[in-house]
Amino acid sequence: MKIFIETDRLILREMVPTDVDGMFELDSDPLVHKYLGNNPVTSKEQVMKYINFIREQYEKRGIGRFAAIEKASGDFIGWSGIKLNTGEKETLNGNDHFYDIGYRFIPRYWGKGYATESSIATLKYGFEELGIETMCGAAEVENIASNKVLQKIGLKFINEFTYDDIKCYWYELNREDYGKTMS
Ligand SMILES: CC(C)(COP(=O)(O)OP(=O)(O)OC[C@H]1O[C@@H](n2cnc3c(N)ncnc32)[C@H](O)[C@@H]1OP(=O)(O)O)[C@@H](O)C(=O)NCCC(=O)NCCS
């Protein structure tokens, strides 16, 4: 099983089919989906399809979200990482080919700094290992925690846009500006 990144408290590894129970706990929780369209999954089959889609992205797009494991407990806590969005169905804020940084954790692991910790390491991986030019991020305006994470890790606010009638903020960071913050 490929490990992409290790941080102080987390392992970010390849998502595998045996993550199905953890992913079901995550994606069937209405609290988790409050700012994700309020449409939690209702079956493990739906989750399996999503896991397979992520695994296909590793192959076809060179990257996909990582499963996040808490080192201290060995628990699957959710996912974090990079997605290459491409094609008409994945267009967002007028962009149809872009890398975005994202995260989604089971609620009992919220508030421990895991989104921030995993995203700082993911940004480094994206710019330094994958050579990504621009990293994007988007969050519903009301999703305070997610907006905070994107700002804390250094993404810059670009504009407000609407997705499915919901107000969202769009952020970006390019490699040159990332380099400046690192020097
Ligand atoms: C968004 C999410 C990943 C944040 O994860 P997390 O590990 O709890 O985030 P962190 O602990 O790194 O916290 C980041 C900041 O947000 C703040 N925060 C966390 N939850 C918050 C909440 N409910 N309301 C307000 N602020 C909150 C933290 O205090 C922290 O700010 P600080 O450093 O100034 O104290 C988590 O809430 C989640 O999985 N939500 C459901 C899925 C989702 O919305 N994903 C994002 C879609 S854009």
**Residue 162: inside a domain:** no
Residue 183 has pLDDT above 70, yes or no: no
CATH number at residue 31: 3.40.630.30
**Residue 163: inside a domain:** no
Q: What is the DSSP letter of 89?
A: G
Please give the tally of structural domains in the chain: 1
- What phi, psi does 79 have (nearest 5°)? -140, 160
- What phi, psi does 177 have (nearest 5°)? -70, -35
Residue 22 has pLDDT above 80, yes or no: yes
10, 69 Cβ separation under 8 angstroms: yes
- Kindly state the percentage of the chain with pLDDT values over 90: 96
Cα separation, 114 vs 133, whole angstroms: 25
The token pair that represents 76 in the structure block: 């699957």
CA of 60 to the centre of ligand 1 (A): 30
Q: Which residues line ligand 1 (CB under 6 A)?
A: 32, 35-36, 103-105, 110-116, 139, 143-146, 148-149
Q: Which pLDDT belongs to residue 69? A: 98
**Residue 168: inside a domain:** no
Q: Which pLDDT belongs to residue 113? A: 98
Adjacent-strand bridge partners of 81: 65, 102
CA distances (Å), 76 to each of 44, 54, 63, 108, 168, in order?
A: 16, 16, 20, 11, 28
| 155-182 confidence digits (pLDDT tens) | 999 999 999 999 999 999 999 999 887 6
Average pLDDT over residues 122-140: 98
CA of 123 to the centre of ligand 1 (A): 17
User: Mean pLDDT for the chain?
Assistant: 97
Measured by CA distance, the residue closest to atom 44 of ligand 1 is 35
Residue 43 has pLDDT above 90, yes or no: yes
